[in-house]
Structure 1
Amino acid sequence: MPPDLAERFAWEVMLARDRTVNAFALPGGYLGVHLGLIGTVTSADELASVLAHELSHVSQRHISRLITRQSQQAPWVLAAMILGALAASASKNTDIGSAAIVGGQAVAQQSQLNFSRDMEREADRVGFGVMTEAGFSGQGFVTMFDKLQQSSRLNDDGAFPYLRSHPLTTERIADMRARVPDGHAHDASPRVPVSASYHAMMAARARVLAESAVDRLQALARTGQSAARSPLRDTTRLGQRYAGVLAATQLRDTPAALDMLASLRATPVDDAASRAAMDWLTLEVLATLKVNQAPGGLSLTALREKALASDDREGMLLGARATLVDNAETQRNAVQRLRTWVTLHPNDALAWQTLSSLHNALQQPVQAARADAEARLAQQDAPGALERLRAAQQWARNSREIDHVELSILDARVRHVDSLVREQLREEKPNG
């Protein structure tokens, strides 16, 4: 993709640690995905269908079109209210005026609902084309809508379709099925394949990370232990083992985590992404539980070095966090690796947070505060970032050995973030 198009379609994905099945898109290329959605879908095609639908809302300018539609209807609603007031004043029966006012508002609201349903249909159809051209199966749309219908079957009987902001799920299923005759006839050949084993492990990870209650984590760990004892080696058991290992690790149950980890690593996988996912989980388990060696002989040191040298973001960040319990020389190497990364990816909040933790471990409060500020800025918390930058400035000026280069960088960042805070305050003023 040319640089100009890459910049134009530079989507910013935000993951929300929430168990609900939801995703949303905002103007400016922001896409929010709940972990509950990732944990629910059974294939990458289903996840791609949701993302394609939400991205199409932005690419088709649905929000701006909806606002334009509302502004076009505003004069008619106002006219109906004026006519209603005139009718009420000219007649002794005030019901005539009330009927005119309510009727005008009802017509406007019904028009908005019709327009909203049309936009949802357009997002479905445009999204279908986007995902199939990207190499995913269009059948994912059908199976995803089936899941939505099953999840809402107890509180949605399909009544009053004309009062809904979305088309009936049955209509959407029929529309998508019509676009994939004979199952997969119109699907593009996969160009970006996502293996079933890799998806199963990432969905399992999302299910665990979306949970905070101990009893739910214990349930996931028990399911993982049952899967570890099973002789079956399908993707369902693979995902259950992965979830069990991660849940047991969060519960600090070392024997259970290592036992399930041995079973997980014994499960055969064919693709590099799945093997890397197993390695990074192994590293996470060893570093969290402070164990030096995994079942099968893999050492914490070897995995950490492999992760730090990896181009994989997940591995690199796990490797950097694993150095927090190591010596200063290893931590300095991780700092250099992370500095290179955040230079190329300045909006990576987790990378900045990890860098801040490493600087704290190295007794470098100025650099730690600045990295923490950059992490807050990446999370759209400009006031918090400004507070941390000013704290870093104070530490730098009170230091025995003043680093003038670092101080200059801090001064420049303070001016930049201060301008962002002032701009936000102006936008928040009611008459700004």
Structure 2
Amino acid sequence: MRLLYTFSLITLAIGLATGATAQARNLSFIRDTEIENAVRYYSAPIFNAAGLDVQTVRIHLIKDPRLNAFVAGGQRIFIHTGLLMAADDASQVIGVIAHETGHITGGHLAQFDTIRESAQAQQIATMLLGIPLALATGRADAVAASLALGQHIGQRSFLTYTRAMEQSADQAAVTFLDEAKMSSRGMLEFFEKLKRNEALYTADQNPYTRSHPLTDSRMNFVRHHVQISKYSDNKLPEEYKLLHDRVRAKLRGYLLPESQVLTYYPKSDQSVPARYARAINLQQQHRYEESLKITDALLAESPKDPFFYEFKGDTLFDAGRMEDAIKTYGKALNILPWAAMIHQARARAYIELDGDENLKEAVADLKEAVRYEPWATFNWRLLATAYGRLDDQANTALALAEEAIRTGKKPTAKTYAERAMDQLPNGSPGWLRAQDIEFQARKPDDGADNE
């Protein structure tokens, strides 16, 4: 698991509850091949039922212990680690994903923009005008002050509209679940869990129930559907339980202190998830040899498990054993050649070793990483590093141009693209790509997502 980036964000979620204030929070995004793969496995039947291309929906993991999930920025679903750890089984996560998919297919983000601009919601528009100021200054009170406006007609209209969106997303969710021949019981169980836990939240209100108000009518709708659906007693295949147990064990191992990990997974528990969680937690404490001993035992039992190899590679990397890490990552990639993050990890190990041959191997790995995940800007930065150490100035400039255009730094992208074009053979693939970037950098901003 890798911390991807952290930034401060002022959040205004769809379905803002009456009287709630926007909050400034540091959001830490994480990447993990195994967990992302599991969530995509959960999501695939829902996306297929919804008519969405599985490859175009981006799923982001937020390191946050609170229960939350939301849609933003087009076809993007954001899931808190707290939600994954709190869900008793995969069906509860699938129910949440089905609901968020309902927001995507319902076009609710676009509708949100429409109502913001309408004359009937001028007060809400005024409220939203405070957000750019808050983002610029880091002060949530700019939004809070705007929230004080329009407490009557405007807010009442806005909340009525968002209640309709929540009901629409619920209707879509149970339809998708039925289409996939999956039970809606997990969705109901998760909602009931949230309702039971509401009393635990005071000023720091449960973010899910704040942005997705759980009204009695919504709960009754899902409960009624469970009663009448012919798929309500359908059980998920056993592999879903195995996946979810591993996901929760991994998150707990990484994110919780040793005392809590041992509470969930005492040493007497010799199940695979328990040993995995303990190995991960030992790695986090830099007790590498103890961690490797457990991991090697897991691999002896499951010699074709790519995620155990990936984790072992990460442990060896952290221990400074780069050559061993490279060999271990290679075993993972023999099983999962598409795993961009493992290609990235092996490239980092090659870069640490330095030397022309190692750097060339790093370039090869990073080219695979950007082939599968061209939007992951850190891969372009690493590629520029490897090319730079090889004294390949043309491709260094091209990689930096790729990074800059994807992070919205158009002047920087233009400068590096022009530098690459000056040094690359005219008409070559790299030169043509640099030309494309230079052209894109000259275009006026259109709000497109460059990630």
> Match for residue 184 of structure 2?
138
Residues in 2 aligned to 1:260 and 1:225: alpha-carbon distance in whole angstroms: 18
Equivalent position SS for 1:195: helix
CA apart distance, 1:287: 2.2
Calculate percent identity across the aligned residue pairs.
21
> Match for residue 92 of structure 1?
none
CA apart distance, 1:124: 1.6
Greater CA radius of gyration, 1 or 2?
Answer: 1
Return 5+ residue gaps in structure 2 as ranges.
Answer: 1-46, 124-149, 204-209
Residues in 2 aligned to 1:32 and 1:125: alpha-carbon distance in whole angstroms: 21
Alignment of 1:316-331 (within 5 A): 316-326=343-353, 328-331=356-359
1:200 aligns with 2:245: yes
Instruction: Indicate which of 153, 158, 174 corresponds to 1:112.
Output: 158
Aligned residues: 365
CA gap 1:361/1:46 in 2 versus in 1, 3 angstroms: farther
Instruction: Indicate which of 335, 343, 346 corresponds to 2:363.
Output: 335
1:306 aligns with 2:331: yes
1:289 aligns with 2:316: no
Equivalent position SS for 1:317: helix
Residues in 1 aligned to 2:240 and 2:121: alpha-carbon distance in whole angstroms: 54
Residues in 2 aligned to 1:156 and 1:172: alpha-carbon distance in whole angstroms: 23
Residues in 1 aligned to 2:167 and 2:280: alpha-carbon distance in whole angstroms: 39
Residues in 1 aligned to 2:316 and 2:122: alpha-carbon distance in whole angstroms: 66
CA gap 1:7/1:42 in 2 versus in 1, 3 angstroms: closer
Alignment of 1:62-141 (within 5 A): 62-68=108-114, 74=120, 106-134=152-180, 136-141=182-187
CA apart distance, 1:393: 5.0
CA gap 1:132/1:185 in 2 versus in 1, 3 angstroms: closer
CA gap 1:72/1:395 in 2 versus in 1, 3 angstroms: closer
Equivalent position SS for 2:71: strand
- State which drifts further: 53-62 or 21-30: 21-30
Instruction: Indicate which of 288, 292, 314 corresponds to 1:258.
Output: 292
Equivalent position SS for 1:24: strand
Contact 1:145 1:172 in 2 (8 A): no
TM-score (norm. length: structure 2): 0.64
Residues in 1 aligned to 2:447 and 2:356: alpha-carbon distance in whole angstroms: 42
Residues in 2 aligned to 1:315 and 1:425: alpha-carbon distance in whole angstroms: 32
Instruction: Kindly provide the amino acid, as one letter, of the partner of residue 107 in structure 2.
Output: R
Q: Relative contact order: is structure 1 or structure 2 higher (C-alpha 8 Å, sep ≥ 6)?
A: 2
> Match for residue 438 of structure 2?
415
> Match for residue 74 of structure 2?
28
Contact 1:224 1:242 in 2 (8 A): no
Instruction: Kindly provide the amino acid, as one letter, of the partner of residue 311 in structure 1.
Output: P
Structure with more of its chain in helix, by fraction? 1
Residues in 2 aligned to 1:9 and 1:344: alpha-carbon distance in whole angstroms: 11
> Match for residue 13 of structure 1?
59
1:223 aligns with 2:248: no
CA apart distance, 1:302: 4.0
CA apart distance, 1:416: 3.1
CA gap 1:352/1:75 in 2 versus in 1, 3 angstroms: closer
CA gap 1:372/1:72 in 2 versus in 1, 3 angstroms: closer
> Match for residue 96 of structure 1?
none
* 1:153-211 CA-partner distances (Å, limit 9, x unpaired): 23479xxxxxx8754355544432322239984366758x75323333333444566x5
Contact 1:53 1:127 in 2 (8 A): yes
TM-score (norm. length: structure 1): 0.66
Instruction: Kindly provide the amino acid, as one letter, of the partner of residue 223 in structure 1.
Output: V
* 1:291-350 CA-partner distances (Å, limit 9, x unpaired): 479xxxxx6454232234433414443333343344643542452344245345432335
Contact 2:121 2:154 in 1 (8 A): no
Contact 2:182 2:232 in 1 (8 A): no
CA gap 1:416/1:152 in 2 versus in 1, 3 angstroms: farther
CA gap 1:277/1:146 in 2 versus in 1, 3 angstroms: farther
Equivalent position SS for 2:70: strand
Residues in 1 aligned to 2:263 and 2:387: alpha-carbon distance in whole angstroms: 38
Equivalent position SS for 1:33: strand
Equivalent position SS for 1:10: coil
Instruction: Indicate which of 279, 289, 308 corresponds to 2:309.
Output: 279
